[in-house]
């Protein structure tokens, strides 16, 4: 893996980090993220993708991530493991910044699988542990988006080594 600190990678990285911080704050505070906020973030992400050309230059990575995340979101939502906002934001992460932004992997398909796997494990395991230790409290519904942010950051840190 080679470190990639191009303008395109840095813009994509900071866009998704900014969005995840906003969404995490709302998820922790209110336990919900309004559709308007999610769609506004999606619009910002699309603009960044178009202006930087990130989607076209990493087309295989984006398509692989989307083809993996859509069925997983559907299954996890149907069985009640994630909520609607979690599903939409997981889709946005897969669309805007599906892999390792600060590094280059030669295998885009493996990169997408690895990134999605780490993000999902962090999100679901973090949510489970949160629920496990706080289940006796009044509102024990776990905010999953902060754990998605942690998973995303773990992937990016791994890329630096």
84 Rama class: left (phi>0) / alpha (psi -120 to 50) / beta: alpha
Helices (H), 2-161: 7-30, 35-52, 54-57, 59-78, 84-96, 108-134, 145-159
Q: What is the reported pLDDT for 69?
A: 94
Per-residue pLDDT of the chain (161 residues), as tens digits, is: 667 778 888 888 899 999 999 999 999 998 889 999 999 999 999 999 999 888 888 888 889 999 999 999 999 999 999 999 999 999 999 999 887 776 767 787 888 888 889 999 999 999 999 888 887 666 667 899 999 999 999 998 887 77
**pTM, whole model, 2 decimals?**
0.90
Burial class for 11, CB neighbours closer than 10 Å (0-12, 13-18, 19+): middle
6 Rama class: left (phi>0) / alpha (psi -120 to 50) / beta: beta
Span 85-104, pLDDT tens digits? 999 999 999 999 887 776 76
Taking the C-alpha atoms of residue 57 and residue 49, their distance in angstroms, rounded to an integer, is 10
Q: What is the reported pLDDT for 99?
A: 77
2 sits in which H/E element: strand 2-3
């Amino acid at each position: 893996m080679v470190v990639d600190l191009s303008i395109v990678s840095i813009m994509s990285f900071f866009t998704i980090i900014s969005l995840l911080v906003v969404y995490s704050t709302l998820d922790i505070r209110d336990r919900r993220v309004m559709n308007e906020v999610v769609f506004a973030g999606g619009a910002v992400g699309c603009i960044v993708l178009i202006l930087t050309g990130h989607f076209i230059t990493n087309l295989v990575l984006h398509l692989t991530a989307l083809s993996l995340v859509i069925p997983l979101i559907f299954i996890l939502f149907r069985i009640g493991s994630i909520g609607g906002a979690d599903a939409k934001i997981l889709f946005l992460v897969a669309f805007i910044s599906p892999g390792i932004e600060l590094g280059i992997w030669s295998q885009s398909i493996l990169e997408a699988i690895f990134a999605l796997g780490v993000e999902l494990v962090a999100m679901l395991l973090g949510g489970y542990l949160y629920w496990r230790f706080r289940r006796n409290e009044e509102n024990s519904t776990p905010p999953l988006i902060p754990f998605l942010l942690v998973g995303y950051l773990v992937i990016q840190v791994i890329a630096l080594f």
